[in-house]
């Protein structure tokens, strides 16, 4: 396993190179007062969360300062750093999109699914208000009712994340699918669960995007249904990997903060999948 200093150098160089390669990637501020601590430093520190295995960004911040205080000499206070991090949503997205895909996996067969991001445990449903003004509401998953949002993810059969969208539970799963299908080439096949069934929806997606959605309800053969379920296990594995990165532990107090946190989890997952970083 890499030392803290080695890991910091790795994630910083990755973030810095990506932002410098993007048009206006590191110069998005309209103000002439440029902060001494760069966006790459702000994001690199947050990317250390999975390295330390901590549940909160605050703990990550404190561990970096305690173990390598000279790494970022111009690092602001925790409150200022967190505010800067949440202002860097676009920059985090640029880095996330820059991770190379394994082209051999893009074989025109893809997986789509959604996963509930709960704001609280069921025992608090009677009094929860966290992020209600920003779209959090009650929804139902295979494990029962929850209060929060849904993360919709599009992946390859081997587990590469091609795209993701974060929506309130009041949106039907098929609304998320309409946005993610735009990432696919015409003629692609998308393996989905029963939340995406419906002849009207499937016809619309085929007419608009040229993408065919296939659910268990569309299959009559028992053996083919088993094959369908077997293929769909991969997308469940992607969500399991995000759970291991504390993706289901919500500490954010704003929609933007929560979405940024989830993007950092997906960024770490994609970096590990691409063998750019490793914690072994």
Q: Which domains does the chain have, with CATH numbers?
A: 4-98 (no CATH), 103-244 (3.30.420)
The encoded tokens of residue 164 equal 């993701």
What tens-digit pLDDT sequence spans the chain (280 residues)?
Answer: 788 898 999 999 999 998 888 766 555 555 566 788 888 999 999 999 988 988 889 999 999 999 988 889 999 999 999 999 998 888 999 899 888 887 666 678 888 888 888 888 888 888 888 888 888 888 887 778 888 899 998 988 888 888 999 999 888 888 889 999 998 888 888 888 888 888 888 899 989 889 989 888 888 888 888 888 877 777 777 877 777 776 667 778 888 888 998 999 999 989 988 888 887 6
Rg of the chain (C-alpha set): 20
Task: With CA atoms as reference, report the closest residue to 258 among 245, 244, 247.
Answer: 247
The encoded tokens of residue 256 equal 């933007």
CA 194, 259, 117, 130 torsion: positive or negative? negative
Q: How far apart are the C-alpha atoms of 162 and 71, rounded to whole Å?
A: 33
Q: Side-chain half-sphere of 84: how many Cα atoms within 13 Å?
A: 23
What is this structure's pTM? 0.85
């Amino acid at each position: 396993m890499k030392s803290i200093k080695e890991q910091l150098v790795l994630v910083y160089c990755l973030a810095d190179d990506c932002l410098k390669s993007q048009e206006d990637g590191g110069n998005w501020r309209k103000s002439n007062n440029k902060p001494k601590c760069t966006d790459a430093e702000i994001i690199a520190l947050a990317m250390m969360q999975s390295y330390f295995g901590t549940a909160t960004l605050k703990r990550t911040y404190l561990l970096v300062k305690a173990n390598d205080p000279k790494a970022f000499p111009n690092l602001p206070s925790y409150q200022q750093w967190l505010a800067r991090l949440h202002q860097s949503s676009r920059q985090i997205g640029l880095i996330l999109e820059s991770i190379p895909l394994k082209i051999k996996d893009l074989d025109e067969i893809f997986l789509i699914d959604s996963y509930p991001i709960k704001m609280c445990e069921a025992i608090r449903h009677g009094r929860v208000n966290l992020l209600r003004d920003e779209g959090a509401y009650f929804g139902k998953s295979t494990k029962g009712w929850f209060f929060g949002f849904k993360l919709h993810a599009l992946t390859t059969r081997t587990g590469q994340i091609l795209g993701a969208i974060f929506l309130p539970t009041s949106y039907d799963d098929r609304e998320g699918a309409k946005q993610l299908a735009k990432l696919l080439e015409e003629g692609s096949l998308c393996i989905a669960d029963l939340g995406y069934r419906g002849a009207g929806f499937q016809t619309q997606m085929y007419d608009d995007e040229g993408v065919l959605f296939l659910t268990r309800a569309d299959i009559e053969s028992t053996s083919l249904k088993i094959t369908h379920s077997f293929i769909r296990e991969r997308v469940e594995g992607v969500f399991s990997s995000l759970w291991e990165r504390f993706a289901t532990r919500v500490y954010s107090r704003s929609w933007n903060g929560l979405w940024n946190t989830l993007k950092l989890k997906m960024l770490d997952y994609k970096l590990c999948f691409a063998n750019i970083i490793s914690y072994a």
